[in-house]
Structure formats: structure tokens, C-alpha cells
Amino acid sequence: MATTYPEVGEVLHDVTLANGLRVLIVPKPDYHETYALFAVNYGGIDVRYVPLGESEMVEDPAGIAHFLEHKLFEKADHDAFDLFGATGASSNAFTGATSTAYLFSTSQQVATNLTTLLDFVQDPYFTEQTVAKEKGIIGQEIQMYQDTPGWRLYYGLLGNLYPTHPVAQDVTGSLSSIAQITPTALHRAYRTFYQPSNMTLTVVGNVDPQATLDLITANQAAKTFAPATPIQRGVAEDCGVADILPYRALSLPVARPKAAVAIKGQRPVGDDLAGTRFQVAVRLLLEMLFGDSSPLYQDWYDRGLIDDSFDCDYQAARTFNFVTFACDTADPQALSDALVAVIAKGADQELDPARFARLKQAGLGKYYQGMNALDSMANQLSAQSFASVNAFEMAQVMRDVTLDDLYQAAGALFDLAAVTVCHVHPEAQA
């Protein structure tokens, strides 16, 4: 089905194949490049589930989704990276908390690269030897992240917010957790989650939509898949505040201390229109209060509490949502106290209507700017492909958000019972 979105001047071809695979195609005839992502609704948090064809819940080691992403590139007699490279294409993959994606970009031989993408992701190959080798490679990656203070600060915050939820576990796992990964466990997770009905293929670029769809349909028809089966996931929504750890201090080799504050969302945020509108409202609220054009930001900057490393973010996904603030600062306690003081006001915030209108327009401008980049468009479409609101509908959602939505968002999120603080101190001063 093709839908035209006059707001952004795009046409989206959205087709679900007989095997359940959802295909999204956006033709961009004025561009030379084509960008494609093959995504699965499976990420770092999905460690508890009922395997396909079984009846009992299992728990996989942390990091298995990321490990699986690495291993799918390697086959018995070749590496998929080499196939992409032979055509001049650039390829990559990434694993997040709730999804994994495989991608390529190219200006030539799109059909060949699409076939490579589909075939290598849908043809798992794991042996004891290759899995053992990969443990060494990923082990080095884990140690690299452990040597990154910002990474440690972020997961310190998540550990405080979610002591029993797998979102607090590093998506790469730990040295001890990846040591437990076996070919059998990889095949079990792959069989359960890498069903076509749990995946989306997004293609944006200089392609003929029908010819591209015909290629994908023929590729899938030539393969055999188990019947689509609902996935029984064992990770529940975590919105409780009773087990939050209020404070954590880390001693790391940094030249300048760091401070971070986080707020745990206390209600589920759906992937429907209401949930999407709430997310937009929260992000606008954060920009209103803490953005670099806000009075608060200017005051804190002038006082030396923050520098240009200050950042705030909101993440909402399957089973969790939270706000984070982080910055390098000479006085971590003073900064975290200042942040907590704003949060303590709850919905009693001073929000200027005129500034709200300007920030909405600025947000729309960034949105339209993002639509000019193929990778940005494809990533947004892919990221929202498991939700009910697609990336081309976001402009209208942004237009519809009101100042009252921001006050409601502040009332829902800004609660001291849901707050945690994490500080990083230089080792010599700890």
C-alpha cells in the first residue's frame, strides 16, 4: 500500500509479505544513494522469554542480542562485510535495548546488496570455534566501554533506576555473561526472535518501489520459515520506585568530576498516538527548562555549574522510560542539587507560551532537516516501524502538542521519589 504524505512530500510503500515481514520503501529519485535497514524487534533487554516451540521460560546471558548481531556476519566460507565491500557498499549493524538492525548504504548494485542483506541475516551460522573466537573480540569491546567514564556514569544511573530490570545491564554484556553464551543459546534466541513477522525491512533511496518489492518478495518466497508465532516475552514493565537506589558515587580516572541525575517514568508509555504525543511533550518540556537557550541554562553556565557538555535526554521504549541529565562540572553536588530543586517543583514550572511556540517551530525545522538525509529518514522509519505512528506522521503530532501537555508531562514525571543521582570523582580525590 502506498501512502502520500504531503506534509513532507514523501510516498511510503508499506507492505507486509506472506511470511509476516513488513517492508517499507520510500523512493527518492533525486538522490544517488540508497540506504537500507533490516531490523528485528529484539534487543539487549530480551533475555527472558519462552523459546519457539517450547513452554518454559528461559533466561539468556546478558549481551546475547549484541553477540548474535556480531555472529550473523560470519559464515562458513565468507564474511558478509566482504560481500558488501566488493560492490562499494558500506555496511554496519547495531544493537539497542529493544531492537537490532543491520544496514548498508550504496550508490550502485542495490539489488545485489539487498539480496546480501536479506541472505546473511536470515542464514545463521554458529560453531563452537567461531563463538569462542567472538568472545575474545567482544570481550575487548566490553573492556573498552568499561574504560569510558561517560559509559560507566550512564549505566551507573540505570543501575540505580532499574536494579532488577535488564535495561540496566550493558547491552554488550559482561565478561562473565558472554562466557556463558553457546551456539545452542544463539540458535534458540535466533529461532525465537528472528521470525520475519518480528522484523522490518526499510529501503530509502533511488529505487523503483515495485521492482524492489518484487525482488524482496521473491527472495523471501524461496526460503522456508516456521509459521509466525507470537513471542512470549518475560521482561515486564518496570515503573515502580520502591527499589530505586538514590545515590551512587564512582571513582574513575577523570580530570574533571561528572554529575548525573535521572528520573524514572512511573507510567507505561505506549507506542500509540497518545504515547507518542507524551514523548514529544516531554522532550519539548526538557528543551523549555534546560535547553541551551533557557534562562536556567544561562544562569547555571554563568555560575560555572555546567559547561557545554550538559545534556538531557528522554528515552521511552518497551517496558521502561526515563529522563537523564549529565554534565562535567567542578561541583557535582551543587549541580545535582540544582537539578533536583527543579524536579521538586513538579508541574509548578514557569513555561513561557511565546518561547514554547518558538521551540515547536525549531523542533519542526530540525525534523524537516532530518528528512533531507536518507540515513536519518531510514533510521526514523525503522525505529518506529514496530509502533503505530510512523516517522512521516510526527510533524502533525508535534503541531498538536500544547503547553498544557507539557505541564501534564511535568506532573507525571517530576517526582522526587523517582529520582536518582550519580557522581564520578577523580580517583585522586575520591
Residue 386: which of 227, 234, 262, 233 has the closest Cα?
233
**Tell me, which fold does domain 247-426 have in CATH?**
Cytochrome Bc1 Complex; Chain A, domain 1 (3.30.830)
In angstroms, the CA 75 to CA 61 distance is 23
Minimal CA–CA distance to 175: which of 142, 127, 202, 203?
142
What DSSP assignment string belongs to 293-307? TSHHHHHHHHTTS--
Cβ count near 182 (within 10 Å): 14
Per-residue pLDDT for 101 more than 90? yes
Q: Is 2-233's fold the same as 247-426's? A: yes
pLDDT-derived band of residue 41, with 50, 70 and 90 as boundaries?
very high
- Decide if pLDDT at 429 tops 60: no
Crossing angle, helix 295-302 and helix 273-290, to 10 degrees?
40
| pLDDT tens figures, 393-423 | 999 999 999 999 999 999 999 999 999 999 9
Spatial distance between the Cα atoms of 122 and 152, rounded to a whole number of angstroms: 34
Q: Which amino acid is at 317?
A: A
Predicted pLDDT at 147: 87
Q: What is the pLDDT of residues 348-366, one digit of tens each?
A: 999 999 999 999 999 999 9
* pLDDT > 70 fraction of the chain, expressed in percent and rounded: 99
Q: Which residues pair with 420 in a beta bridge?
A: 262
pLDDT digits (tens, 9 = 90+) for 154-165: 999 999 999 999
- Residue 310: pLDDT over 80: yes
Active site residue 69: yes
User: Catalytic one among 10, 69, 134, 393?
Assistant: 69
In total, the chain counts a number of residues equal to 430
Q: What is the CATH number of domain 2-233?
A: 3.30.830.10
Task: Judge whether residue 182 has pLDDT over 50.
Answer: yes
pLDDT at 82 over 70: yes
Q: List pLDDT tens digits, range 372-383.
A: 899 999 999 999
- Cα distance between residue 217 and residue 23, in whole Å: 10
pLDDT value of position 172: 95
Q: Which pTM was predicted?
A: 0.94
pLDDT of 430 higher than 60: no
Distances from the Cα of 296 to the Cα of 14, 43, 398, 414, angstroms? 44, 36, 24, 17
Domain layout of the chain by residue ranges: 2-233, 247-426
CA distance 161 to 345: 20
pLDDT single digits (tens) 127-164: 999 999 999 999 999 999 888 999 999 999 999 999 99
**The one-letter amino acid at 11:** V
